[in-house]
Amino acid sequence: MGEAKEVTPPVSQIVEPVTGPAVQPAVEGAPVTTPRLARHLIHLSDGHAVGVAVSGRGIPIVVVHGFSAEGFLYAQTLSRLVAMGFKVVAVDTAGHGGTQGLPAGGGDLEAYSGLLGRILDELGIEHAILAGHSMGGRLITDLAAARPERTIAILLLDAIVGDTWDRMVYLFRLAPPLLVGMAVALVADTLNPLPLLKNPQQVAKLFKLVVPSYAAHVVQPWRLLGPAFSILRSGPSTPSLTELGEWEVPVFAFHGEWDLVVPIRTAHDAVRRSNGHMVIIERAGHSWLVKDPETLPAVVSDLMVRELGEACRSALERVGLDPHTADVDQIEAALYRPDAWILGLSPPNVTHAIAERHRRPAFNWVIEGDTAEAV
């Protein structure tokens, strides 16, 4: 695919870019910019079909979804990360979204993380922040442990890692119907609109994104069998977490305080083993980042003036750049391979101005060991 061209919107559509979550709600009816994500179906060198959604420029954040989801399900949250100055690359894992399943179900989750690594290699992404929700958190944990020198930081979002989760997998093996019950609880958590009752527009947007994704599973339910059995066949996650700590890879575990699908104890154990940082999303369940597009970008904005920002600056220094003076072209030249495929997949740098209220995050958060929270 050819290189994307820069397109300037009409003067009437140009507004000040949103660089982070608003401290106060915008004036009712004021225009807000929303970066577009381009969806692609690509084929790797071995012919494997992969679905990706891409937007933005700069430091890449590779986002990996949870079980039964797909990358574009997080589109609202991802567009806000793009507006903060990142290149977002949302990847559909095997058997989800536009990505072809693995032969014989993939064996265990190591095969899924291996495919993710091949995708990043063929896209030309050399260094990245890895973010994974639920099952995606396990995949990025294993991938980062295998290539720590290429990982800027990892964001574990209610991830299925840690000793507590490993014990749960053992129970699932003894009684597989428990895994089915967890899948039902996951769907119920995602579709529960209670935290958003004050924002009916967001409820409508959520269902617009969720329904097509789950409808595809209703039509082809067998696609989820491979990932489900791979979870059951996977070994413990704790060795990878320990390796991340030994390699001093910056780890940030975000977890819903009221997550009934993956207990918050899993995140506490992950942080302890990896010497990471804990972020508790107050009164939130498992799918908080899907329900509210403002919370994750708000927490990331908070962390960018703290430990996550330091991790990004250190990564740029390791590739020979001055983080205070490097421009976006220099950053992309250092963090991607020359003529990287992903650079051609990014859409033109166009934002769509819409008239709506820029809302505050729906959830507060606490960074463990600190009193910082959403405003």
Predicted confidence (pLDDT) per residue in 12-33, tens digit: 222 222 233 333 333 444 455 5
**Rounded percentage of the chain residues whose pLDDT exceeds 70:** 77
Task: Please say if the pLDDT value at position 69 is more than 90.
Answer: no
Q: Is residue 297 classed exposed, middle or buried when 0-12, 13-18 and 19+ CB atoms within 10 A define those classes?
A: buried
Alpha helices in 175-284 (DSSP H): 177-191, 200-219, 225-233, 238-247, 265-274
135 occurs within a structural domain: yes
Number of domains in the chain: 1
Both tokens of residue 357?
């209220």
The answer to whether residue 210 is domain-embedded is: yes
Q: Is residue 373 part of a domain?
A: no
Q: Is residue 158 in a domain?
A: yes
Give the CATH number for residue 184.
3.40.50.1820
Task: Give pLDDT, residue 351.
Answer: 53
Residue 273 lies in a domain: yes
| Residue 286, domain extent | 27-338+352-367
Which residue matches tokens 């994307």? 4
Q: What average pLDDT score do residues 241-251 get?
A: 98
**What is the pTM for the complete model shown?**
0.84
**Distance of alpha carbon 50 from alpha carbon 40, whole angstroms:** 8
Task: With beta carbons less than 8 A apart as the criterion, state whether 195 and 284 touch.
Answer: yes
Residue where the block lists tokens 């291996």: 114
Residue reference for tokens 């030249």: 333
For residues 92-97, give the mean pLDDT: 90
**CA 291 distance to own-chain centroid:** 14
Inside any domain, residue 344: no
Q: Which residue has the higher pLDDT, 219 or 136?
A: 136
Amino acid 229: pLDDT: 85
Per-residue pLDDT tens over the stretch 147-163: 999 999 999 999 999 99
The pLDDT tens digits for 292-346 are 889 999 999 999 999 999 999 999 999 999 999 999 999 999 999 999 999 999 8
The pLDDT, as a whole number, for residue 93 is: 94
Instruction: For residue 130, list its beta bridge partners.
Output: 62, 154
Is 179 within the bounds of a domain? yes
